[in-house]
């Protein structure tokens, strides 16, 4: 059996930063990931990372913008810590070797982003995530680290109220592996693939969130799902908010800048939930464009000129050209809102600790919560690094004093039994068909606008799919890179989370941030300024609620 003090699962920015922190604290660390670290979805983040370093800006303004952006569901104490860490975090990443874009005076260049008072988003062209991921891997790769590359997490072993280790699956060899660990940090990213239209990579299937839930961790605020306003039609590929930050305009089929109706002061740079709802409303009212891939609006960059478009928005220029056959220098880009980010996740405190001893989480898989009901652009890259480090430090400190973990002989068989059964069946459900039905269900009933009838139908359908998943079958018998098997594994994880999302959304009878109920259009602070916690019960999620951390920012109406 393998043995490490700290096992970090997921090798994007949060996982790598956690691993680095734990190594620097003197622990023996393993990094387990289903993708090579450089292929993590963090690398797809385009726009930038927020830090209030401009002379006109202040940490307090960053805090306020984040609190307001969260629609007052973010924990203000955690947000204060988060925004104070922003400057040092960016400086550290610069010293690690990140190649940021620069201003003429040699300082870090900044661009405006939605929901922010000042240009606060530091960037590396429109590939900021990739730039950070490269620099961090170049830094971490020089450390003593055990890398379990292309391994899937199968189960967290929790006994006597604390983590004892993990069971994993080596994709390349097809073997099941046990790793005893004192502490585990989950940084496995989001579950965007629950939805049909998503900007997320195919790998974003919420494995760590689902396995934490299975192991007894509470999930927080799962009903808050962010839809990014500008995904490329058909493929759902992200067109960064930086495109609007650089001056891109949104127009409907009549050529009107319709955001003037919804956010008269800041127009295109309103918060993401506001812009996404505006687009859906325009399309619903017949003012959008329509085509074989559904309704859409135009994102216009042409007036920015070739040089600005090709230098600052190089990647999305390529995306539009390659994936939509559109040249943004001369043509508008067809866009629609698509699932983009999960504000919710494994509930943690500001140190990354969950309600399970020895289990930590960070990044998009976790919910601290700093994003509350809606995340601001430029805050998620920052979150991965700030709270990745905190989780790594906390896990290292815990592992330093924790007793040796105890794995039992039956752990491996228990964890792998279901997988072996899937492969032994003569017939059964096709995991990719179940996945497609789940995606369509979530898109239709748990999307940008929600109501009671739709959510009830959503619950019914997701539960029916979960029942059918009990009969899932894997037809591929190969040991090596068996995607049919990992498809089934991931689909099972996503179905668990889909249920938590839809049940949480049904219960929350108000509209706040990204959660928009047409039957409860107003924010209800008296009843609902509190976090949803979902624990796994035999009949599905068991909901409870927790107060929001408050320091000094009283809720007001959110207008942009």
Binding interface with other proteins (CB under 8 A): 35-36, 38-41, 43-44, 88, 90-91, 94-97, 99-108, 124-125, 127, 130-131, 134-135, 138-139, 141-142, 172, 201-203, 235, 237-238, 292, 314-315, 318-319, 322-325, 430, 432-433, 436, 475-476, 478-484, 487
| Nearer CB in complex with other proteins: 39/531 | 39
Catalytic residue among 111, 244, 272, 375: 244
Please report how close the Cβ of residue 357 comes to other proteins at its closest, in angstroms: 33
CA dihedral (381, 387, 390, 394) positive or negative: negative
Smaller CB separation from other proteins, 322 or 552 = 322
> What token pair was written down for 382?
């920052």
Q: Give yes or no for a contact between 98 and 129, defined as CB atoms under 8 angstroms apart.
A: no
Helices (H), 352-410: 379-401
Q: How far is the CB of 151 from other proteins (least distance, A)?
A: 14
Kindly state the smallest distance separating residue 481's Cβ from other proteins, in Å. 5
CB of 285 to other proteins, least distance (A): 26
Residue 72 to residue 557: CA distance in whole angstroms: 10
Which token pair is 261? Answer: 């109706």
Nearer to other proteins, 2 or 483 (CB): 483
Residues ≥6 apart with Cβ < 8 Å to 517:
449, 450, 451, 452, 508, 509, 510, 511
Tokens of 542: 């068991």
Q: Tell me, what DSSP letter sits at residue 267?
A: G
Least distance in Å: CB of 476 to other proteins? 4
Residue 53 phi, psi (nearest 5):
-105, -10
As measured in angstroms, the least distance from the Cβ of 47 to other proteins is: 13
Q: Which is nearer to other proteins, 321 or 463 (CB)?
A: 321
382 vs 197: CA distance, rounded Å: 25
Closest CA to 241 of 379, 48, 102: 48
Dihedral Cα 303, 274, 282, 501, nearest 10 deg: 130
Annotated catalytic residue within 228, 272, 298, 435: 228
CA dist 348 → 73, 213, 353, 514 (Å): 15, 13, 5, 21
Q: Which is nearer to other proteins, 104 or 537 (CB)?
A: 104
Whichever of 191 and 368 has its CB closer to other proteins, that residue is: 191
Whether a cis peptide bond, with omega within 30° of 0, leads into 369 is yes
User: Is 244 a catalytic site residue?
Assistant: yes
User: Between 431-445 and 452-469, two packed helices, what is the crossing angle to 10 degrees?
Assistant: 170
Helix, strand, coil percentages, rounded to 5, for the chain = 40, 20, 40
Residue 368 to residues 8, 221, 396, 478, Cα–Cα distance (Å):
18, 10, 19, 40
Label the pairing between strands 219-220 and 530-537.
Answer: antiparallel
Q: Select 130 or 218, whichever has its Cβ closest to other proteins.
A: 130
Question: Residue 99 Cβ, how far from other proteins at the closest point, in Å?
Answer: 5
Query: Are 462 and 445 within 8 A, CB to CB?
Result: no
3-state DSSP call for residue 399?
helix
CB of 142 to other proteins, least distance (A): 4
Nearest to 335 by CA among 382, 272, 389: 272
Q: What span, in angstroms and rounded, lies between the C-alpha atoms of 405 and 401?
A: 12
| Residue closer to other proteins, measured from CB, 34 or 531 | 34
Q: How far is the CB of 34 from other proteins (least distance, A)?
A: 9
Whole-number Å distance between alpha carbons of 451 and 453: 6
Q: Which is nearer to other proteins, 202 or 257 (CB)?
A: 202
Catalytic residues: 228, 244
């Amino acid at each position: 059996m393998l043995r490490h003090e700290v096992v970090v699962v997921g090798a994007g920015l949060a996982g790598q930063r956690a691993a680095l922190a734990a190594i620097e604290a003197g622990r023996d660390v393993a990094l387990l990931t289903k993708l090579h670290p450089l292929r993590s979805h963090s690398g797809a983040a385009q726009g930038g990372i927020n830090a209030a370093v401009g002379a006109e800006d202040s940490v307090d303004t960053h805090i306020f913008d984040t609190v307001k952006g969260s629609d007052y569901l973010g924990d203000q104490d955690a947000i204060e810590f988060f925004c104070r860490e922003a400057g040092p975090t960016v400086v550290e990443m610069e010293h690690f070797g990140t190649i940021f874009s620069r201003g003429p005076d040699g300082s870090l260049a900044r661009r405006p982003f939605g929901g922010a008072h000042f240009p606060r988003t530091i960037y590396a062209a429109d590939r900021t995530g990739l730039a950070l991921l490269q620099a961090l891997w170049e830094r971490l790769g020089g450390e003593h680290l055990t890398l379990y590359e292309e391994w899937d997490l199968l189960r967290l072993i929790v006994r006597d109220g604390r983590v004892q280790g993990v069971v994993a699956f080596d994709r390349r060899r097809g073997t099941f592996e046990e790793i005893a660990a004192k502490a585990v940090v989950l940084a496995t990213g989001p579950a965007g693939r629950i939805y049909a239209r998503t900007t997320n990579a195919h790998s974003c299937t919420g494995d760590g969130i689902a396995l934490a839930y299975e192991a007894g961790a509470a999930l927080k605020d799962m009903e808050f799902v962010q839809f990014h306003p500008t995904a490329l039609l058909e493929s759902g590929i992200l067109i960064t908010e930086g495109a609007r930050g650089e001056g891109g305009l949104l127009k409907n089929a009549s050529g009107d800048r319709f955001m003037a109706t919804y956010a008269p002061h800041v127009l295109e740079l309103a918060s993401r939930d506001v812009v996404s709802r505006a687009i859906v409303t325009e399309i619903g009212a017949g003012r959008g464009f329509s085509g074989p891939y559904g309704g859409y609006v135009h994102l216009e960059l042409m007036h920015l000129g070739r040089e600005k478009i090709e230098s600052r928005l190089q990647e999305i220029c390529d995306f539009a050209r390659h994936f939509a056959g559109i040249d943004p220098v001369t043509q508008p880009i067809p866009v629609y809102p698509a699932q983009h980010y999960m504000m919710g996740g494994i509930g943690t405190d500001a140190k990354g600790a969950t309600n399970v001893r020895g289990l930590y989480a960070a990044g998009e898989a976790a919910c601290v919560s700093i994003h509350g009901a809606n995340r601001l652009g430029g805050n998620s890259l920052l979150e991965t690094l700030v709270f990745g480090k905190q989780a790594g430090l906390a896990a290292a400190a815990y592992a330093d004093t924790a007793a040796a973990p105890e794995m039992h002989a039956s752990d491996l068989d228990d964890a792998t039994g279901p997988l072996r059964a899937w492969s032994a069946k003569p017939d059964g459900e096709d995991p990719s068909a179940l996945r497609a039905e789940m995606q369509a269900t979530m898109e239709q009933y748990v999307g940008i606008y929600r109501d009671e009838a739709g959510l009830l139908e959503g619950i019914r359908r997701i539960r029916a799919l979960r029942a059918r998943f009990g009969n899932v079958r894997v037809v591929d018998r190969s040991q090596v890179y068996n995607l049919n098997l990992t498809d089934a594994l991931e689909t099972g994880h996503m179905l668990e989370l889909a249920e938590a999302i839809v049940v949480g959304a049904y219960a929350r009878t108000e509209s706040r941030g990204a959660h928009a109920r047409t039957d409860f259009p107003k924010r209800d602070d008296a009843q609902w300024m509190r976090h949803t916690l979902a624990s796994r019960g035999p009949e599905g999620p068991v909901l409870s609620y927790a107060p929001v951390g408050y320091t000094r920012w009283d809720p007001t109406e959110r207008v942009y």
